[in-house]
Structure 1
């Protein structure tokens, strides 16, 4: 089932939005645009997005 994985800030901006077509697990570390709070989300086609809590990555 196709899905999209992305990081999202509190204003709803996504960093980057890239489709993941296969069933391999994808892992995100402390990737983000800087000193803002972000969360990791996955969105399966036809469903609602599922996201982690917001965190402020350490640099």
Structure 2
């Protein structure tokens, strides 16, 4: 299981590789990774991670 920092790094890598916010959210959800509030990932939550980091 990835910790929060590792998830952020993966999100940034995937976005840099050209993946859409929605595709990244799908990737995270498929792997059972939860957002910082314990819920599913959505395009908007992935976008917010990119903006904050």
| TM-score (normalised: structure 2) | 0.28
Bigger Rg over Cα: 1
TM-score (normalizing by structure 1): 0.26
* Higher share in helix: 2
Q: Which structure carries more strand by proportion?
A: 1
